[in-house]
Structure 1
Amino acid sequence: MGVFLLLLSLLLATVVVAVFLPRALRVLGGLVGYYLRRSSRTRRELLLARVATEQRTHDADRKQSAKDEDGWKQIESSTGASAVNGAKAAQDWNGIAGFFHPFCNAGGGGERVLWAAIRATQKRWPDAVCVVYTGDHDVDKAAILKRVKDRFNIHLHPPTVHFLYLTTRHYVLSSTWPRFTLLGQSLGSLILAYDAFSLLVPDIFIDTMGYAFAVALSTLFFPSVPTAAYVHYPTISTDMLQSLEEGGQGINAGTGEGYRGMLKKQYWHLFAKLYSKVGSTIDVVMTNSSWTQGHIKSLWAPYRTRRNHITTHDIDVVFPPVAVEELESEVEVSESSEADRGPYLLYIAQFRPEKNHQLILEAFASFVQSHPSLPAYPTEAPKLVLIGSVRDSDDATRVYKLRLLAHELKIKESVEFVCDATWPQMLAWMRKASVGVNGMWNEHFGIGVVEYQAAGLISVVNDSGGPKLDIVVDVDGKPTGFHASTAEQYAEGFRKALTLPREETLAMRRRARKSAGRFTDGGFADKWILHMERLVRLQVARAAK
């Protein structure tokens, strides 16, 4: 433990000074980077040899080398940019792209982004190698890829995707830092990033979980390695700062009162400044929603402009990929399909505290106990179905407590928990359900909400974040769902959604499906490749120096 504390202190001092005095530590950072490159050189060679061996085995098994297993074809370059020697950089690149995603097997929306990004990269650059830095030691490559296929219906090309296992993931867990959690987890990400670089130094480094400090460490150690961040949720935001005030929302609501509250405010403001400076070091920044983009711009853009002399439009929205096309083909939305739907409310979300399952249970209890009249469903009682992945023992405990709450609210028989559902199970429920629910305040995007819409569900979502700004918006001047904040408002939203006239119900389902058409897998892949090409061009240019 003493060694790790010393390392943590050294890394903290290194990053802080690097942010404020980058020239002073450029030489030191370069020396550390040189050491890490040398120490991981053998593993790089072994990895590339393994890729070649697996590719030959794969080709032999398939008995065809010119055609991918899913009929893949390369996506054409969107820029036509050329490498130094005149060859198309985006066409011929065969380097190693490192994806920093320590919880890659969690099975949530963030993981769907990771796998869709790797799939798009594989299709576009079939000779490139995608390496995922993960802390999921309990599963091997075959098990991870099987879960990706079962959970997301995403098929990856096994020979060119590999996993490097981190041993220090516990340093980014909130439980490791009961005090100063924001700073502690950020420092923990530095230890985790150092762990990753000691295993392998990639040609391009991409963070897909929100560890901006890890990306800054890559920039310090390896100036020639282009970096990117796909930001799902800002580590700190202006909304978080405001939530400390009396009447605020979220898990820190109202904690800014008194002497300790004042200190917490100062700490958060100082951390926000450090976070903003760290964000200025990243080459390519993508956000998953307009809400996230707005907060990242407000924090990072001034520093990025001063540091790089660029305008704020370089922080681009790349909406997450959602299986819209598949849902449209698998789930019917028509007059005849209405007979297959019941008064079922579906909440697809990981069992994490911020998803606020408790609020939805309380709202559903209020709705049921009001004995609503549902003419469209005369023979069926309302049911709430909670679908989500269980990542660890904390999540399992959380599910247990939610079951107890359902019992205390006297709705136990009307609530069903579906843990770690497969994609076919989710499809089956989306065919049967009528309403989709989201309870998180300031949900950064809301992939599950888009899935609701693509399946024709009428959404009742929190009046904040991505579901409010990007997803559950008017189409053709008419609503696609309802917004709520309190348990009473949610209960009223459930009542409205389940008591619409038959014609309006179907019309709203169709508007919802039309709205979901903005968030396809293809749309994500196109924008992802656009930004990956920027990274490839940077890598080729820097390597040529």
Structure 2
Amino acid sequence: MAFLSNAVLILFIVTATVVLLPQLVGSLVGLVFRGVGWLIRRRTRSRREYVIARARSEEEEGRAPRAKDSTHSLARNQEDEDWEKVDNTSGVKTASSSESGGGEDAEWDGIIGFFHPFCNAGGGGERVLWEAVRATQKRWPKAICAIYTGDHEVNKATMLERVETRFNIHLHAPTVVLLYLTTRKYVVASSYPYMTLLGQSLGSLVVAYDAFTLLVPDVFVDTMGYAFTLAFSKWLFPAVPTGAYVHYPTISTDMLASLDDQSGVQGINSGAGKGLKGAVKRRYWQLFARLYGWVGRHVDVVMCNSSWTSAHIRKLWGNSKSADNGEGDGTAASPAVVFPPTAVSELESTIEVTAESERTRRPVLLYIAQFRPEKNHPLVLRSFARFLQERAKDPANADKPPPQLVLIGSVRHASPDETHIYNLRLLAHELRIRDNTTFLCDASWPAVLSHLSTASVGVNAMWNEHFGICVVEYQAAGLICVTHDSGGPREDIVVDLGDGATGFRAETEEQFAGAFEAALALPETEKVAMRQRARRSALRFTEEEFSRKWLRQVEKLVKASK
């Protein structure tokens, strides 16, 4: 009997240990992280006070000259005054008034930290960042927007000037703070020749720690896709609300499927699942997907840039039974779809799309995209070469001006981008299309506008482009789109809204070449009709729509921070 009692006691102890030990270890680890977070807060308190004091001082310095300068233009005065008003155009203030006591919410003067180590890259992700900052400034004029960046070569004045030149976004300088990271190299893909996804994700923890030791914000938002930093923030500072704007899932089921692709069109890992190496890669990706999902479930508010991205994040961060609730409610199980801002209004007012303006269009194919491998510029070059070869066989085209290809994109200096564009120039030379191809690096917004107003066709060749801001810009400018038949362009942008096609979609070199020919060969009346349909379609992606949806989600974070 005693033996039986001892056996039961031992069984109970073992069971209790198995059940309670992980919880105990988890609690102890949690306490350690919170203790580290408390120390970080304590050590950065003086910097926080300095950042706030500096912002208020710049605000006062900016007001003094305006009060004395009687020659200051009325338009400029009005622009400056706008920053001191709450943006009521989106309707969010009305929605929040009942919750936060009317104008009290507009008086929030906390710090929103934007984690964006490459904020000077000049791409679509950076447009989202700066448009988000502008919307946040107008909604909470007293709030400070702190951007964690690794762009040491650019000071704030230069950065804001480039933002205005590149994106035509004017920001209120006093409440913008750049915090310079010293560890950005740990998130550069080239630092990890093997297990790149895991390496960059773990490296982002180092960069996040660097960011927090500079300043602990009241709200922490990742706008570049480093989900691990948000979970890290939660472990260190449980009271700091976190938000994610996801441009592209770090890993997706489409990436896993591409390992078995035999066509060679599904990204740079197409067909890489063969043999032992492929099996190891597949298992590694599967395990990483689980880790990525676990990390993502720590985020308080989740926004995605497209229906495609939302579907993947819902599956990875939520669960397989997560429902699609339209635009989503901002949770990991149902992310809010917040389409990126595009200069639709400006393009509409600047570029005319009529039968008369059709005569000013030239047979030019325009591709606006950062010069990076994933944008698949070689596919466009080869397709264009094939198109020119086929076109030359028709005697009827002998007297017509030869079509031109213009590629515009940003280049990150002292990076692999420079080597990439050099190789693209070599490829254009090898394909014998050098005289028909123009490369423009880091073009200003006025230069981009000029090309959008005179080109005829807009091209995008990236497989599973998460959204495709350039495609929307094509539509708003009245270009006929030829895009890759995948991702955001297929699901959200180049779609038939009920009144006809708004462009062409393709996957292979042959299909792109055929689509180029079809787009340029359309009768003039159909060209104008398609351009106008595309422009109407682009109205779904305005800056105003982005601001309205962005603020709806960020308000949740501001409310939680109080």
TM-score normalised over the length of structure 1: 0.91
Q: 152, 158, 161: which one pairs with 2:173?
A: 158
Deviation of residue 63 (structure 1)? 2.3
Deviation of residue 70 (structure 1)? 7.1
Q: 502, 512, 516: which one pairs with 2:538?
A: 516
Q: For the residues of structure 1 that align with 2:25 and 2:380, how far apart are their CA atoms?
A: 48
Q: For the residues of structure 1 that align with 2:162 and 2:384, how far apart are their CA atoms?
A: 31
Unpaired stretches in structure 1, ≥5 consecutive residues: 1-16, 541-545
**Kept after mapping to 1: 8 A contact 2:82/2:138:** no
The verdict on how the C-alpha distance between 1:318 and 1:310 changes in structure 2, with shifts beyond 3 A counting, is: closer
Q: For the residues of structure 2 that align with 1:289 and 1:22, how far apart are their CA atoms?
A: 36
- Residue 108 of structure 2 corresponds to residue 104 of structure 1: no
Superposed counterparts of 1:137-156, under 5 Å: 137-156=152-171
Counterpart for residue 363 of structure 1: 383
What's the Cα RMSD here? 2.3
**Kept after mapping to 1: 8 A contact 2:297/2:332:** no
**Kept after mapping to 1: 8 A contact 2:460/2:471:** yes
Counterpart for residue 150 of structure 2: 135
Counterpart for residue 346 of structure 1: 366
Superposed counterparts of 1:70-109, under 5 Å: 71-72=82-83, 73-76=85-88, 77-81=93-97, 86=101, 88=103, 90-109=105-124
- Please, which moves more after superposition, 89-98 or 45-54? 89-98
- Residue 231 of structure 2 corresponds to residue 216 of structure 1: yes
Deviation of residue 82 (structure 1)? 5.8
- Residue 43 of structure 2 corresponds to residue 39 of structure 1: yes
Q: 269, 273, 293: which one pairs with 1:276?
A: 293
Counterpart for residue 15 of structure 2: none
Measured against aligned partners, the alpha-carbon deviations of 1:204-260 in whole angstroms (never above 9, x if no partner) come to 000000000001100100000000000000000000111111426111111111111
**Kept after mapping to 2: 8 A contact 1:374/1:499:** no
Counterpart for residue 250 of structure 1: 267
The verdict on how the C-alpha distance between 1:341 and 1:374 changes in structure 2, with shifts beyond 3 A counting, is: farther
The verdict on how the C-alpha distance between 1:199 and 1:60 changes in structure 2, with shifts beyond 3 A counting, is: same
Partner SS for 2:95: coil
Counterpart for residue 61 of structure 2: 57
Count of residues in correspondence between the two structures: 520
Unpaired stretches in structure 2, ≥5 consecutive residues: 1-20, 69-75, 323-328
Q: For the residues of structure 2 that align with 1:20 and 1:70, how far apart are their CA atoms?
A: 55
Counterpart for residue 31 of structure 2: 27
Superposed counterparts of 1:459-478, under 5 Å: 459-478=481-500
Measured against aligned partners, the alpha-carbon deviations of 1:492-533 in whole angstroms (never above 9, x if no partner) come to 000000000111000000000001000000000001110111
The verdict on how the C-alpha distance between 1:296 and 1:313 changes in structure 2, with shifts beyond 3 A counting, is: closer
Counterpart for residue 296 of structure 1: 313
**Kept after mapping to 2: 8 A contact 1:280/1:304:** no
The verdict on how the C-alpha distance between 1:328 and 1:70 changes in structure 2, with shifts beyond 3 A counting, is: farther
Counterpart for residue 395 of structure 1: 417
Counterpart for residue 416 of structure 1: 438
The verdict on how the C-alpha distance between 1:25 and 1:304 changes in structure 2, with shifts beyond 3 A counting, is: farther
Partner SS for 1:251: coil
Q: For the residues of structure 1 that align with 2:526 and 2:23, how far apart are their CA atoms?
A: 56
Superposed counterparts of 1:230-241, under 5 Å: 230-241=245-256
- Residue 349 of structure 2 corresponds to residue 329 of structure 1: yes
Measured against aligned partners, the alpha-carbon deviations of 1:270-319 in whole angstroms (never above 9, x if no partner) come to 000000000000000000000000000011112998xxx99766411000
Q: For the residues of structure 2 that align with 1:47 and 1:322, how far apart are their CA atoms?
A: 31
Q: For the residues of structure 1 that align with 2:442 and 2:395, how far apart are their CA atoms?
A: 31
Partner SS for 2:488: helix
Q: For the residues of structure 2 that align with 1:429 and 1:20, how far apart are their CA atoms?
A: 62
TM-score normalised over the length of structure 2: 0.89
Q: 156, 167, 175: which one pairs with 2:182?
A: 167
The verdict on how the C-alpha distance between 1:443 and 1:311 changes in structure 2, with shifts beyond 3 A counting, is: closer
Q: AA paired with 2:455?
A: A
Partner SS for 2:384: helix
Q: 444, 448, 467: which one pairs with 1:445?
A: 467
The verdict on how the C-alpha distance between 1:518 and 1:350 changes in structure 2, with shifts beyond 3 A counting, is: same
Q: For the residues of structure 2 that align with 1:226 and 1:377, how far apart are their CA atoms?
A: 64
The verdict on how the C-alpha distance between 1:159 and 1:375 changes in structure 2, with shifts beyond 3 A counting, is: farther
Counterpart for residue 496 of structure 1: 518
Q: For the residues of structure 2 that align with 1:454 and 1:142, how far apart are their CA atoms?
A: 30
The verdict on how the C-alpha distance between 1:70 and 1:112 changes in structure 2, with shifts beyond 3 A counting, is: farther
The verdict on how the C-alpha distance between 1:320 and 1:459 changes in structure 2, with shifts beyond 3 A counting, is: same
Deviation of residue 23 (structure 1)? 3.4
Q: For the residues of structure 1 that align with 2:491 and 2:102, how far apart are their CA atoms?
A: 42
Partner SS for 1:380: coil
**Identity over the aligned pairs, expressed in percent?**
56
Larger radius of gyration: 2
Partner SS for 2:127: helix
Deviation of residue 90 (structure 1)? 2.9
